[in-house]
Amino acid sequence: MYRKTWFEINLDAIEENVKYIKQKNKKKFIAVLKANAYGCGDIQVAQAVLEAGAEMIAVSSVEEALSLRKEGYEGELLILGTTNPSDLQVLKEYHITTNAYSLEWVKKVIQLDCEGLKVHLKVDTGMNRIGSKSLDDTKEMLELLVNHGCKVEGIFTHFACADSNTTMTQTQFQLFKDTVEALDYTFEWIHCDNSDASVSLEEDFSNACRVGISLYGISAYEKSLNHALSFYTTLVHVKKVQPNETIGYGATYTTEKEEWIGTIPVGYADGFIRANQDRYLLCNDQLCRVVGRVCMDQAMILLPEKMEVGSIVEIFGPHLSLEKMAEDLHTIPYEIICLISPRVTRRYIKNHQVIREDNVLLELHR
Ligand SMILES: *Cc1c(COP(=O)(O)O)cnc(C)c1O
């Protein structure tokens, strides 16, 4: 690593989280690794979850599925988002399972060479994103797909409020259950629980769960998961600034007295967004306020005393929680980690050691 700003992913913690949820809900485990595993690195996280016993990986698009195939993953792979019927040959060639989310989609697919295509039916029980909204449509979809030689291996739905509104989750679950029962078909995979439902919704009707954010220890309900993610940078420049000087673009911060100002090599192009201005980071066990505007590649922090160049600065991690950062920025942990841009080095910890550091920029030019 050259520029010392990194996103640290603890694979040991991820493995423990998979094992914990598996032994708690006793279901098959579908690890949701869309968006490059929420920014954490799809193949690295895939290896960890598979070692911990995950039975399937889910992504959002054909591109994401192919990325995992090209990195060597050969197991069960499901696309949760939409696919174009015209792309079905690539799905078949790479043994990628897709979801059938409308009767219209199915009618197009069956006009093509779809024999052998692996499909999970997607039922909309209230999220109103994708999925079939009527039992008649779902029945017809199943029939058409089966009659044209597709392998309908699963059925699923997605909850809108698993993190808070249990009434709505119950209603959605009941509708899902009624739908599956009415279809009277043997599905290998029946799944509805995302991370929060996987540890809170007590039901043994579904036989698999789809877990994304809790892989990293984030959960609305379960406090015994392990936090797996940290974001660090380092002090690269430290200087004493006189009273009444200003810091950064727009001169939005003025020193009151002689102050120690540190510069960190992280900015909004790394996903450290401008709204971080005036938030606190941790350096040498001391909270340091981000002063002045966050720049594209750099930011400045107010140091309570002189500190050494090279000191590590925690943005979130063991002392500053990702959840708190999300709250401060009026968003959710998902968005913060997905925004950590590809140029930030990913550092992986396994068996308590750094096992690898990946940077897309260096790979492109290798
Ligand atoms: C993203 C996603 C999940 C995973 O959600 P988490 O809250 O991260 O567990 C599960 N199912 C579908 C359909 C999704 O889009």
pLDDT at 46: 98
- Give the position, in ligand 1's atom list, of the atom nearest the Cα of 38: 8
d(CA 324, CA 333): 9
Residue length, the chain?
Answer: 366
* Span 346-354, average pLDDT: 97
pLDDT at 366: 54
pLDDT tens digit string along 74-96? 999 999 999 999 999 999 999 99
pLDDT tens digit string along 236-247? 999 999 999 999
How many C-beta atoms surround the C-beta of residue 128 within 10 A? Answer: 9
Active site residues: 34, 249
Cα 346 from chain centroid? Answer: 14
- Give the position, in ligand 1's atom list, of the atom nearest the Cα of 162: 7
pLDDT at 249: 98
CA of 156 relative to ligand 1 center, distance in Å = 12
- Domain architecture of the chain: domains with CATH: 11-216 (3.20.20.10), 229-363 (2.40.37.10)
pLDDT at 363: 83
pLDDT tens digit string along 36-60? 999 999 999 999 999 999 999 999 9
CA of 158 relative to ligand 1 center, distance in Å = 8
pLDDT at 255: 98
d(CA 228, CA 247): 34
148 and 142 in contact (C-beta within 8 Å)? Answer: no
Q: Which residues contact 225 (CB under 8 A, 6 or more apart)?
A: 16, 17, 20, 21, 214, 217, 218, 219
322 and 8 in contact (C-beta within 8 Å)? Answer: no
Q: Which amino acid residue places its CA nearest to atom 14 of ligand 1? A: 80
d(CA 20, CA 227): 13
Site of tokens 């990293």: 216
> Mean of the per-residue pLDDT values for the chain?
97
Rg value, the chain, Cα = 23
Site of tokens 């799905």: 91
pLDDT at 365: 58
Best mutation site among 32, 61, 99 for ligand 1, i.e. most ligand atoms within 8 A of its Cβ?
32
Q: How confident is the model at residue 258 (pLDDT cuts 50, 70, 90)?
A: very high
- Give the position, in ligand 1's atom list, of the atom nearest the Cα of 334: 8
**Cα→Cα distances 292→163, 247, 298, 325, 326, Å:** 35, 5, 11, 18, 20
Best mutation site among 80, 169, 332 for ligand 1, i.e. most ligand atoms within 8 A of its Cβ?
80
pLDDT tens digit string along 286-342? 999 999 999 999 999 999 999 999 999 999 999 999 999 999 999 999 999 999 999
pLDDT tens digit string along 136-183? 999 999 999 999 999 999 999 999 999 998 899 999 999 999 999 999
Q: Which amino acid residue places its CA nearest to atom 6 of ligand 1? A: 212
- Give the position, in ligand 1's atom list, of the atom nearest the Cα of 60: 15
Stretch (H or E) spanning 345:
strand 345-350
100 and 88 in contact (C-beta within 8 Å)? Answer: no
Please classify residue 35 by burial: count the beta carbons closer than 10 Å to its beta carbon, then call 0-12 exposed, 13-18 middle and 19+ buried: middle
Stretch (H or E) spanning 253:
strand 253-254
Site of tokens 């988002």: 81
CA of 285 relative to ligand 1 center, distance in Å = 35
Q: Among residues 3, 5, 1, 9, which one has the least CA distance to residue 347?
A: 9
Q: Among residues 154, 164, 150, which one has the least CA distance to residue 208?
A: 154
d(CA 347, CA 337): 14
Question: What does the DSSP assignment read for 22-74?
Answer: HHHH-SEEEEE-HHHHHTT-HHHHHHHHHHTT--EEEESSHHHHHHHHHTT--
End-to-end CA distance of the chain: 15
CA of 107 relative to ligand 1 center, distance in Å = 27
CA of 272 relative to ligand 1 center, distance in Å = 24
Best mutation site among 28, 210, 215, 218 for ligand 1, i.e. most ligand atoms within 8 A of its Cβ?
210
pLDDT tens digit string along 101-141? 999 999 999 999 999 999 999 999 999 999 999 999 999 99
Pocket (CB within 6 angstroms of ligand 1): 32, 34, 80, 158, 194-195, 210-214
d(CA 117, CA 71): 22
